[in-house]
Amino acid sequence: MNNTNRAANRTLILVIGLVLLVVGAAAAVLGVVSDYRDAFTSVAPSVQQNVADFMDGAPLAGTVTWWHIAALALIVLVVVLLVIFIFRQGHGHTGRFVRDNKTATGETIIDSRVAEQLMLESLTDRPELVSCRVTTYLVKDTPVLKVSALARRGVSPVAIVTLVEDRLAALDQLLGSHVLASVHVSGGFRVKASSSTRL
Amino acid sequence: MSQETATYRRIQRRELHSSRSATAIVVAAVVVIALAYIATETVLALAGQPPLLVSPTDMGEGIAGVAAVDTGILIAAGVVVALIGLVLVISAIAPGRRARRVIESEKTAVVVDNEVIASALARHAARAGRVSPDSVRVSVSHRAAVVDLTPASGMAVDKDAVLAAVQAELDTLGLSPALTPRVTISSHGKVGA
């Protein structure tokens, strides 16, 4: 439950996908329809010449023109935006669990690690679980504990949910504030309890 | 409380669908590499240096003269590029559902992998059918839970009892979207199972 911008992901994929689709289809049509190919052959060189002439307008020094600089600046801008986009994926962890708890005598701050460790400690060595991981994400400006449990084979997920919710209630009491939590129960190839008994 | 419910709904919605970040990162990286290459060639051309592969002017002329390329190659290349584009468009629009579902709960946002549900159903089906857990295969899809049971040779399996056990377990889970169970008993038994 990170704060990846999913709409941005899909928009980028959609835009690039449409560009590739249109360019690819145009190239294929160019190969299939001879009228279209003739028209392209007659028009394309003059378009290319126009673009080249345009780029050579507004000279700066020697063969370098302002349009070259502008094109390079545009490329650099897009590259920087895309690199930011790549490194913006994921994230959303928070180190502070309880804030804004000011009273007349002072302020209490509880780090996420406290809640995570308490939760993890209460869930280790439970027979229902192979392993467990607890992290904290900020969702809508509220810290939310994420409990990822790897269930042992055949265990009812409801049993695990009940167990986790039970421990969360205890955590509520301990921290003195209501804890928001999400539970993800997964199973994998490591979950087989032991070799099955044969009689 | 409604604020909390809204937060939980958001978490569940995001847990149930792929973020498409792997595809987006690959697409962005490819575009970055392509643009960086074009920028490099432009700078080299402006500095009067020989190009790495093709100068920007030659690139333009190449695109303008692409109709002269052999039609077979043109069609093949066009179709490949268009197919990649189509795959990207589909992955941008498709819901990207993960093999998980929600268990309704008041206190937390619960998301469970389908294989965990399958494994729990398998245990109950094995008990009701009185076979070894290894003789039961359960596959859970978006709407249905299919239980395949291989009986031990010479032992009849009560299909209705298995179905009832699976249904009872599904009822306690309170899944969303709900699962419809289907039980098939294999016609060939397994010796010693």
Say if the Cβ atoms of B36 and A41 lie within 8 Å: no
Fold held by B100-185: Alpha-Beta Plaits (3.30.70)
Q: Which CATH architecture has domain A96-186?
A: 2-Layer Sandwich (3.30)
Measured between beta carbons, the chain A residues lying within 8 angstroms of B132 are 196, 198
B67:A164 CB<8 A: no
B24: nearest Cα among A152, A15, A165? A15
Residue range(s) occupied by CATH 3.30.70 in chain B: 100-185
Q: What is the dihedral of CA A168, A170, A176, A178, to 10 degrees?
A: 30
pLDDT by residue for chain A (199 residues), tens only, comes to 577 888 899 999 999 999 999 999 999 988 888 888 888 888 888 888 888 888 877 777 777 788 888 989 999 999 999 999 999 888 888 888 876 667 788 888 888 888 899 999 988 888 888 888 999 998 888 889 999 999 888 888 899 999 999 999 999 888 888 888 999 999 865 545 444 455 5
CA distances, B30 to each of A80, A126, B105 (Å): 14, 46, 43
**B112 three-class SS:** strand
Q: Which amino acid is at A17?
A: G
Which of A28, A153, A191 shows the shortest C-beta gap to B75?
A28
Strands A142-151 and A106-107: unpaired
Query: Both tokens of residue B179?
Result: 């699962």
Reported ipTM? 0.80
Residue A165 forms contact with B (CB below 8 Å)? yes
Instruction: Pick A75's closest partner by Cβ from B39, B111, B174.
Output: B39
What is the H or E stretch that residue A140 is in?
none
A37 contacts in chain B (CB < 8 Å): 67, 71
Residues of chain A with CATH 3.30.70.1350: 96-186
Beta-carbon separation of A4 and B57 below 8 A: no
pLDDT in tens, B7-56: 888 888 888 998 898 999 999 999 999 999 999 998 898 888 888 888 88
- Work out the minimum CA distance from B70 to partner chain A, whole angstroms: 8
